[in-house]
């Protein structure tokens, strides 16, 4: 799950960088492009904030997944090292 959020954050930040470049050129090289630099800057700002928030969610998701995995490993160690579903009654099936 965290990997998907990292990819989404990267794409949003890439689009934010593209909008920032569009705001700086503001249609000088291609007159058919929208020349409203303020609109491009605002879009770049929202995409940047969105990318940073999604990146933070990806980090938090990875941290919580790691905590869950370590808690499960600790429970398995405390039970005697047997994994779930590997009891003696399940070997013959």
Residue 9 lies in a domain: yes
Q: What range defines the domain where residue 53 resides?
A: 2-27+35-74
Quote the mean pLDDT of the chain: 83
Yes or no: say if 16 and 51 are a contact pair by the CB < 8 Å rule.
yes
Q: How far apart are CA 57 and CA 8, in angstroms?
A: 11
Domain count within the chain:
1
Give per-residue pLDDT as tens, 43-84: 999 999 999 999 999 999 999 999 999 999 999 999 886 655
Is 18 domain-assigned? yes
> According to the model, what pLDDT value does residue 86 have?
55
Q: What is the pTM of this model?
A: 0.70
At 22, the pLDDT band (50, 70, 90 cuts) reads: confident
In this model, does residue 93 exceed pLDDT 70? no
User: Residue 81: helix, strand or coil by DSSP?
Assistant: coil
Domain contains 47: yes
Among residues of the chain, what percentage have pLDDT more than 70? Answer: 74
Long-range contacts of range 14-17, CB-CB < 8 Å, 24 or more positions apart? 15/47, 16/43, 16/44, 16/45, 16/47, 16/48, 16/51, 17/44
Q: Which residue has the higher pLDDT, 87 or 72?
A: 72
The candidate with the shortest Cα–Cα distance to 65, out of 76, 53, 75, 57, is 57
Residue 86 lies inside a defined structural domain of this protein? no
pLDDT at 92 over 90: no
Establish if 85 belongs to a structural domain.
Answer: no
Is 84 domain-assigned? no
> Would you say residue 56 lies in a domain?
yes
Confidence at residue 69, expressed as pLDDT on a 0 to 100 scale: 93
Residue 90 belongs to some domain of the structure: no
């Amino acid at each position: 799950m965290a990997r998907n959020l990292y990819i989404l954050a990267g794409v949003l930040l890439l689009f934010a960088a593209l909008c920032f470049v569009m705001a700086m050129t503001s249609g000088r090289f291609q007159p058919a492009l929208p020349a409203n630099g303020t609109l491009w800057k605002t879009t770049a700002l929202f995409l940047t904030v969105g990318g940073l928030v999604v990146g933070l969610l990806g980090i938090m998701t990875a941290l919580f997944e790691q905590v869950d995995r370590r808690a499960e490993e600790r429970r398995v160690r405390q039970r005697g090292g047997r994994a779930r579903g590997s009891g003696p009654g399940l070997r013959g099936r």
